[in-house]
Amino acid sequence: MAVLVTGGAGYIGSHVVRLLNERGDDVLVVDDFSTGIAARVDGLSVVDLDLAAPDATDRLVDAIREHGVDSIIHFAAKKQVGESVEEPVMYYRQNIGALTNILAAVEATGIESLVFSSSAATYGMPDVEMVGEDLDCRPINPYGQTKLIGEWMIDNQITASQMRGTAFNAVKLRYFNVAGAGWSELADTAVMNLIPIVLGRMKDGKAPIIFGDDYDTPDGTCIRDYVHVKDLAEAHIAALDYMKSGGTTETVFNVGTGTGASVKEVIDTIAEVTGRDIVPEMGERRAGDPPALVADVSRISALLSWKAEFGLEEIVRSAVEAAGMLPEQK
Ligand code: UD1
């Protein structure tokens, strides 16, 4: 049996594909290569498909039958907060429309397990520092809203399948701040998040900008929970195995380390790892940034027996190495 990985040519998806291959699972990648990179899935079975296209369900059903797919990991989606505010319709189409097509294909083929990429963005601006899964979700942008709607769609499908007496299970993973590279060639090439932005600016001879240092945190800068992409990838494998062994107690899990790092700490770590002095500029606060967002990871640790192996230093080192910026790479 094979695992269908949508967005398998993307940053996180390609890490999961690599792990599945390593453990000998058959993999079928579905990607439209809008942001995915073909070289990341070289030599694998690939269907080039926009999951929001009108014929997507039919093409998925054919691919599922042809390749003997029995589970799906769904990454393919839009994920830029700012863009989602400017172009919400694109987010409805690509995140909600595509998931609708996938669920229709699941229903038509009797697929029993789905892992869904959700996000800490579903929580919005929680007023607690440590975020547990039972907290009220109040996403503050269309991106986070489409992820929460996706979770609801999946829950509705689980209920409908129980009513029909069919066995559809799903796990929704709410990622915190994903960074680093498990393999340099699979590194994040989009310069959208803190670590890639800082490294990109250093390459251009520019100082990083800290978006606000007057937050109510120990050093005044925002705290986030940075999780290594390889650890995150392992969480997907754990989620698949959990469903295969009949686990259905909970369906939504935070994926983080349970430990926060401030923007200053991240920049200091980049300075240490690259061996370069970094003097950041202080900028204005960025709208919509919660002061601190750290995952409570007790649920995933208890039910999926998953725990992050890597810390901030290893995350930063892997990203710096992928960027060719370790001192010995000069
Ligand atoms: C962002 C998304 C979030 C998404 C997550 C994972 C926003 C508002 N949030 O989280 O929805 O789930 O990515 O993809 O886009 N920072 C600087 N200077 C910079 C860049 C960032 O100080 O040049 C700070 C930010 O203000 C923030 C922290 O670094 O405090 C992390 O920023 P970022 O990497 O953009 O992630 P989040 O905003 O936490």
Do 125 and 139 share a domain, yes or no? yes
Catalytic residue among 11, 91, 123, 143: 143
- Here the CATH number for the domain that contains residue 286 is 3.90.25.10
- Does the CB atom of residue 157 touch ligand 1 within 6 A? no
Q: Which residues are within 8 A (CB) of 281 and not within 5 positions of it... i.e. 6 or more apart?
A: 207, 208, 209, 210
Do 150 and 107 share a domain, yes or no? yes
Instruction: Give the residue, by CA position, lying nearest to ligand 1 atom 4.
Output: 121
Q: Is 143 a catalytic residue?
A: yes
- Here the CATH number for the domain that contains residue 48 is 3.40.50.720
Q: Which residues are within 8 A (CB) of 169 and not within 5 positions of it... i.e. 6 or more apart?
A: 112, 113, 114, 158, 243, 248, 251
Give residue 247's pLDDT: 79
Do 98 and 207 share a domain, yes or no? no
pTM, two decimals, is 0.97
Instruction: Give the residue, by CA position, lying nearest to ligand 1 atom 14.
Output: 177
What is the chain's pLDDT, residue by residue, as a tens digit (330 residues)? 899 999 999 999 999 999 999 999 999 999 999 999 999 999 999 999 999 999 999 999 999 999 999 999 999 999 999 999 999 999 999 999 999 999 999 999 999 999 999 999 999 999 897 999 999 999 999 999 999 999 999 999 999 999 999 889 999 999 999 999 999 999 999 989 999 999 999 999 999 999 999 999 999 999 999 999 999 999 999 999 999 998 778 999 999 999 999 999 999 999 999 999 999 999 999 988 889 999 999 999 999 999 999 999 999 999 999 999 999 997
Give residue 330's pLDDT: 73
Number of domains in the chain: 2
Do 241 and 283 share a domain, yes or no? no
Amino acid making up residue 288: G
Instruction: Give the residue, by CA position, lying nearest to ligand 1 atom 10.
Output: 177
SS3 content of the chain, % helix, strand, coil (to 5): 45, 20, 40
- Please give the distance, rounded to the nearest whole angstrom, from the Cα atom of residue 289 to the centre of ligand 1: 7
Do 94 and 184 share a domain, yes or no? no
- Does the CB atom of residue 57 touch ligand 1 within 6 A? no
